[in-house]
Each structure stands twice: as structure tokens, then as C-alpha cells.
Copies of this chain bind each other. A is one copy, B any other.
Amino acid sequence: MPPERFPIPQGTLDMLILQILSLEPAHGYAIAQRIEQISRQVVQVGQGSLYPALHRLEQKTWLRSEWRESETGREAKFYSLTRTGRQQLAREKESWDRLTAAVRLIFDQGE
């Protein structure tokens, strides 16, 4: 039985995309693949979520895009993290840590 898949909470995808790009630039298709692969298919990234997210993030100037040749020799749009994008990632990571800590508190309370 494959691992259960469930919807990823609103806002989480942006953070994961920024994180993937914090290592090196990549095109959309590769970003989605890496998220799914590293998370062992727990996080699924549909194309209907991926591309709007990328455009959203570029709109906010957290990403910059550039057409380049992909590993397969085809044209693809490579995204890279901007300076403000890196700052945003730090902010979102901190929020995430605070949230998970808070949820942990609520779960552990009463035990």
C-alpha cells in the first residue's frame, strides 16, 4: 500500500519551493519532483498548484526566472531565489517552527 497522501496546508507549498531553491536554481518540473522525492511521496505537488505558486512567488519578487536549457536539452524556465526571497524563507521557517511547537504543546497538554 502506497503511503497515504493528503492535502498540504495552505501556504506550505510556497515555503517548500523557496527551500528547494535555496540550494540551487531549478525549473518548475524539477522542483515538484524533488519535493515529492525527498518527502517520499508524502507531499504531492500537482501542476495546478505548482505553477500558480511559482508565478505568485515571482510576483512578490521572491523568485526570479530565466529561460535556460534543462538537463534534457530542452528549454525550461529556471527559477532562482532572490535576496528578499531568502529572507522570506527564513521568516516562513521560523513561523513554521513556532506553529509546530505550538501544536506540540496542545497535543502534549494533559498527558
A residues with a Cβ closer than 8 A to B are: 3-4, 6-12, 15-16, 19-20, 23, 35, 38-40, 42-43, 93, 95-96, 98-103, 105-107, 109-110
Contact = CB atoms under 8 A, between A and B. Distances in A.
B98 A42 contact: yes
> Could you say how many copies of this chain the assembly holds?
2
A42 B9 contact: no
Given A38-B109, A39-B105, A99 B6 contact: yes
Contact of A99 (B42, B93, B98, B105): B42
Contact of A9 (B12, B16, B40, B110): B12
B4 A38 contact: no
13 contacts: A6-B98, A9-B10, A9-B12, A12-B103, A15-B103, A16-B103, A20-B106, A38-B109, A39-B105, A42-B99, A42-B102, A43-B103, A93-B107
